[in-house]
Amino acid sequence: MGKNIVHQECLEEPGKRSRLWSFEDINNVLTENTGTEAIQGMVLKLREPKEAYWRPESFSKLHHLKLLIIDSVHLSHDPKHLPNSLRIIDWSGYPSKSFPSKSFERLKSIRLRKSPKLVETLDFTKVPVLEKLVLEDCINLPRVHPSIGVHKKLKVVSLKGCKNLKSLPSKFEMESLEILILSVAQK
C-alpha cells in the first residue's frame, strides 16, 4: 500500500517521487539524469543481476537522498558524485576503486559488500557520525585509512573476507567500538 501511495505522488515522472523501488524507475531516473530533490530513498534489490548504464553524474541532483540500497546491478561507469545528505548506503558490488573523498556529515552506515574494485577507503574524519562500516568480501582492499583507528562513533566494523587486507592502523582507540570482525575464509 505504501508503494502505491508513493507511486501516486507523480505517475509520469518517477524523478519527482520521494522513494523509488523498481529497476525501471531507478534506471530511468539515473540513466536520463532526471532525479530531483524530492527523492529521499532508492532501494533496488534484484533477484537476478542486471546491467545498467547510469550516467557518472546521475546522483548529483539528488540533494535530499538519505537512503541508497543497491544490489545486483552492474554499472559501466563509476558514480562521480554521491549526495552528502546520505545517511545509509548499502551497495553490493560498488563499482568504483574508492568512495568519494568529500565530507558526509550525516552518514551513519556504509555497507559496500562484494566490491572487488574497491581498493581504497575514505578518510573517516569526513564521516564523523558513522556508526557502522561493513566492507565484507572486498577482496582487493589492501588497507583501510588510518583515521578509522581513532573514530569516535563507530560501533560496528566488519572486514570479513577482505583477503588482501595487509594491515590495520597502528593506533586503535575507537571509543564506541562494540563489534570488530576480521576473518578470512581459509582455502
What rounded mean pLDDT belongs to the chain? 90
Mark whether 64 and 121 lie in a shared domain.
no
> Which residues does 5 contact at the CB level (< 8 Å), separation at least 6?
none
Question: Is 123 exposed, middle or buried (CB count within 10 Å of its CB: 0-12, 13-18, 19+)?
Answer: middle
Give the total number of structural domains in the chain: 2
Last residue of a domain, one of 86, 104, 134: 86
| Residue where one domain finishes, among candidates 86, 105, 129 | 86
Q: Which of 31, 58, 86 is the endpoint of a domain?
A: 86
Spatial distance between the Cα atoms of 130 and 101, rounded to a whole number of angstroms? 15
Residue 121 and residue 137 in one domain: yes
Cell 539524469, located at residue: 33
pTM: 0.90
Per-residue model confidence as pLDDT tens digits over 9-61: 556 687 888 899 999 999 999 999 898 899 999 999 999 999 999 988 999 99
